[in-house]
């Protein structure tokens, strides 16, 4: 405790979060034994005999710019959990890190180079392009780390990781070879999501669907063809090889099995009429024109019926079939040509405007073109040698058995539905930034490994899907494939806190990777948060101009106030509204607890609050017992991930019960005074996980506090 004069001077001034928060964070970083880095953020430095570990691995922010309020929400929730468990005596490890976010990062740098220098990546070449990307990623990384510290995250910076660093690259190459040797990774010609703008494949989970107006055309291929079909993409029909109808659709029974040779807009096509249960007989005409090379559903129909797959659109979304009227034209131009031809031939029966979900690439905005490509895939349906189960089963089992719990629970249904419909995972990308596919070629020979056997071998040009490397995040950050002490101590991790929108893209793949490589689970609990919205309920974004920068809020109101605005009332899995006014309200709360402390310590300086009377009084004991019930209630909320309730309850107790009622009564009732200091001491402890900086500052000037609040014990119930 500081001397009374300094206490008085400090508390007489209004609380200044701008000055306090950066100083307190530095104090935490430099605390603990001097021989170990990381201060008390490093679990190796924590005092006492802490046998039980608690681990959170930070979902790594993409090195593509700066953090937004969504990151602030995630970091606040994670740090709240970590600080609570640290005070409860756990050996807490909060591992920080960043994600190279291959497509997003390369796309951003490419756009800048095109804008400023009018050059493409091919003009620069692979080596120079990678230098530019790495320089951008380093600058972005430094900004992000500074922001994470501003948010108050009590991470062990001595264990910081990057998804593309040397240790993570070793893990990625190790897993690739293991899966390849087990026959789970293969190279095949299959239909993929192709981004013509980014010139690469992308994952199903990286497609953003936008509702747009489209034209639905109903027509026949020729005058003597017996069935009408409907489509929004007539340009693909030059690649049709069948018309599929439902087996129970009596309208078309007589035609099933028949074949027709047709010249469609100058292109010869051969159509076979087939019966397949995938067809919805009550939708449209009940007949589906099957284009195997340009539709995932049609590709699967072609598998079942052994149909030819004729590619008619290339990687630049241009036609590669037909005569001068079609060849080389953009798909949108070819569509107009074919529609005009249908009209001139009297084949167009109906043209109507419909709403359609168009798949676009998340990072480039390009319209996705399903194309057959030779790519690397992970087989999710093949039985793993010696395990008697598939990767799909590995993803499903921990949630079915209860080994992994999702909060909120209703996301379980969504998770299982996604797994049931999961196709083989395309893991190769046609970009330069990222983990390069560890495969080497010499003629027809293939070698899989870190390095080529000799200079005659040429490495695969592609890189791996970002989710392939980030799927290993919980164990690669702890040193795997080495069997480190950290891995033995801190894995499986306890909680994965992340946004519900990446439940499939990341969470499921982490379960897959950990189950396959460690025969374990990556975490025990998945806590899903929602989207941060503005006070009108709109999603925050740059384009909408309604975003709030958490760093700006830290400078304006303090990060403690920002944290509280994100926690109070924010139930798991639901969106949260945040505004400057809301944050300002919690700055007032920080001032309130500052003023409460001044009142208590000023009274203590005059006459000790707990010795005004001889021993505790009945009234003071009643108040302390009342607060113990509040403490028990809040502790239960913390244990059950109800941080929205715990933060709200301590806020209301301090402001409305303690300040408005108990303190006011103590001014005229001396029997209440002995309760003030012990209750307030525990209030500061309980508030610490939510508002760590102001509570640490107050703790330093409280009587009898000879160690930092960050390592104080949580109040006993």
* Rounded distance between C-alpha atoms, residue 654 and residue 649, angstroms: 9
> Mind listing the pLDDT tens digit for each residue in 580-634?
999 999 999 999 999 999 999 988 765 555 544 446 789 999 999 999 999 999 9
Q: Which of 660, 659, 648, 656 lies closest to 686, judged by CA?
A: 648
Residue 5 has pLDDT above 80, yes or no: no
* Rounded distance between C-alpha atoms, residue 553 and residue 522, angstroms: 34
Distances (CA, A) of 230 to 15, 218, 278, 288: 68, 4, 16, 7
Beta strands in 553-612 (DSSP E): 576-577
Query: Residues 165, 477: contact at Cβ < 8 Å?
Result: no
> Mind listing the pLDDT tens digit for each residue in 249-288?
999 999 999 999 999 999 999 999 999 999 998 888 999 9
> Mind listing the pLDDT tens digit for each residue in 424-460?
999 999 999 999 999 999 999 999 998 999 999 999 9
Position 615 scores a pLDDT of 62
Tokens representing 145?
């780390």
Query: Residues 500, 530: contact at Cβ < 8 Å?
Result: yes
Position 282 scores a pLDDT of 87
Q: Which of 619, 612, 610 lies closest to 704, judged by CA?
A: 610
Question: The tokens 């740059």 sit on which residue?
Answer: 542
Neighbours of 210 (CB within 10 A): 12
Q: DSSP labels for 404-425?
A: SEEESTTHHHHHHHHHHTPPPE
* Rounded distance between C-alpha atoms, residue 43 and residue 90, angstroms: 9
Residue 323 has pLDDT above 60, yes or no: yes
* Lowest mean pLDDT, pick from 68-82, 188-202, 357-371, 605-619: 605-619
Position 360 scores a pLDDT of 94
Over range 321-350, report the average pLDDT.
95
Domains of the chain and CATH, by start: 202-370 (3.90.740.10), 555-711 (1.10.730.10)
How does the average pLDDT of the chain come out, rounded?
Answer: 93
Q: DSSP labels for 250-277?
A: TTSGGGTT-EEEEEETTEEEEEEEEE-T
Considering the chain, what percentage of its residues have pLDDT values greater than 70?
Answer: 97
Q: Which of 87, 151, 25 lies closest to 697, judged by CA?
A: 25
* Rounded distance between C-alpha atoms, residue 526 and residue 57, angstroms: 12
Distances (CA, A) of 579 to 34, 496, 538, 562, 582: 41, 27, 11, 10, 5
Question: The tokens 């793993």 sit on which residue?
Answer: 384
Over range 323-352, report the average pLDDT.
96
Query: Residues 386, 182: contact at Cβ < 8 Å?
Result: no
Position 713 scores a pLDDT of 95
Q: What is the DSSP letter of 41?
A: G
* Lowest mean pLDDT, pick from 119-123, 155-159, 201-205, 660-664: 201-205
* Lowest mean pLDDT, pick from 17-31, 35-49, 366-380, 616-630: 35-49
Considering the chain, what percentage of its residues have pLDDT values greater than 90?
Answer: 83
Residue 538 has pLDDT above 80, yes or no: yes
Position 1 scores a pLDDT of 47
* Lowest mean pLDDT, pick from 51-60, 203-212, 228-237: 203-212
Position 705 scores a pLDDT of 79
Strand arrangement, sheet containing 445-448:
445-448, 439-442, 458-459
Residue 695 has pLDDT above 50, yes or no: yes
> Mind listing the pLDDT tens digit for each residue in 383-439?
999 999 999 999 999 999 999 999 999 999 999 998 998 899 999 999 999 999 999
Query: Residues 642, 649: contact at Cβ < 8 Å?
Result: no
Position 614 scores a pLDDT of 47
């Amino acid at each position: 405790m500081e001397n009374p004069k300094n206490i008085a001077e400090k508390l007489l001034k209004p609380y200044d979060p701008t000055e306090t928060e950066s100083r307190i964070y530095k104090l935490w970083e430099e605390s603990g034994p001097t021989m170990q880095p990381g201060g008390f953020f490093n679990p190796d430095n924590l005092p006492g005999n802490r046998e039980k570990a608690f681990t959170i691995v930070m979902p790594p922010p993409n090195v593509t710019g700066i953090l937004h309020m969504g990151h602030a929400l995630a970091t606040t929730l994670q740090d709240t959990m970590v600080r609570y468990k640290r005070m409860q005596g756990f050996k807490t490890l909060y591992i920080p890190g960043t994600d190279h976010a291959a497509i997003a990062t390369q796309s951003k740098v490419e756009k800048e180079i095109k804008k400023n220098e009018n050059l493409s990546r091919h003009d620069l070449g692979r080596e120079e392009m990678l230098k530019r990307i790495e320089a951008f990623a380093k600058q972005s990384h430094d900004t992000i780390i500074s922001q994470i510290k501003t948010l108050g995250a009590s991470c062990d910076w001595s264990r910081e990781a990057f998804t593309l660093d040397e240790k993570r690259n070793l893990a990625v190459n190790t897993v690739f070879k293991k899966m390849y040797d087990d026959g789970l990774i293969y190279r095949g010609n299959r239909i993929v999501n192709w981004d013509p703008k980014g010139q690469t494949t992308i994952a199903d989970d990286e497609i953003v669907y936008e509702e747009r107006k489209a034209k639905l055309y109903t027509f026949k291929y020729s005058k003597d063809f017996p069935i009408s079909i409907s489509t929004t993409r007539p340009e693909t029909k030059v690649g049709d090889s069948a018309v599929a109808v439902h087996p129970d659709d009596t309208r078309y029974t007589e035609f099933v099995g028949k074949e027709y040779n047709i010249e469609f807009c100058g292109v010869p096509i051969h159509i076979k009429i087939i019966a397949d249960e995938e067809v919805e007989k009550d939708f449209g005409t009940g007949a589906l024109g099957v284009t195997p090379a340009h539709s995932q559903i049609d590709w699967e129909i072609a598998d079942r019926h052994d149909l030819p797959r004729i590619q008619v659109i290339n990687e630049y979304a241009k036609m590669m079939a037909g005569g001068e009227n079609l060849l080389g034209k953009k798909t949108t131009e070819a569509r107009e040509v074919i529609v005009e031809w249908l009209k001139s031939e009297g084949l167009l029966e109906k043209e109507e405007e419909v709403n359609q979900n168009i798949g676009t690439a998340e990072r480039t905005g390009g319209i996705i073109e399903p194309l057959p490509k030779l790519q690397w895939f992970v087989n999710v349906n093949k039985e793993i040698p010696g395990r008697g189960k598939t990767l799909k089963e590995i993803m499903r089992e921990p949630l079915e058995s209860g080994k992994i719990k999702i909060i909120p629970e209703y996301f379980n249904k969504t998770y299982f539905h996604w797994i049931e419909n999961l196709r083989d995972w395309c893991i190769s990308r046609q970009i330069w930034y990222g983990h390069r596919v560890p495969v080497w070629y010499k003629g027809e020979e293939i070698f899989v490994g870190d390095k080529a056997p000799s200079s005659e071998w040429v490495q695969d040009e592609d890189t791996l899907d970002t989710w392939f490397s980030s799927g290993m995040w919980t164990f690669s950050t702890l040193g795997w494939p080495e069997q480190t002490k950290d891995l033995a101590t801190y894995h499986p991790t306890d909680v994965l806190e992340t946004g519900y929108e990446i439940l499939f893209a990341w969470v499921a793949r982490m379960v897959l990777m950990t189950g396959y490589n460690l025969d374990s689970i990556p975490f025990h609990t998945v806590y899903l948060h929602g989207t941060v919205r503005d006070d009108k309920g709109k999603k925050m974004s740059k384009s909408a101009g309604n975003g709030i920068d958490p760093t700006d809020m830290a400078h304006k109101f303090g990060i403690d106030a920002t944290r509280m605005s994100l926690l109070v009332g924010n139930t798991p899995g639901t969106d949260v509204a945040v505004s400057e006014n809301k944050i300002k309200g919690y700055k007032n709360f920080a001032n309130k607890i500052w003023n409460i402390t001044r009142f208590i310590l000023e009274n203590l300086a005059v006459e000790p609050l707990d010795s005004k009377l001889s021993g505790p009084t009945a009234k003071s004991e009643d108040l302390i017992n009342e607060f113990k019930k509040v403490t028990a209630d809040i502790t239960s909320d913390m244990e059950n991930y109800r941080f929205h309730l715990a933060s709200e309850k301590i806020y209301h107790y301090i402001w409305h019960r303690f300040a408005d009622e108990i303190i006011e009564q103590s001014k005229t009732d001396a029997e209440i005074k002995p309760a003030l200091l012990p209750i307030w001491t525990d209030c500061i402890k309980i508030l610490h996980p939510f508002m760590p900086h102001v509570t640490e500052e107050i703790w330093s000037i409280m009587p009898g506090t000879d160690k930092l609040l960050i390592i104080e014990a949580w109040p006993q119930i």
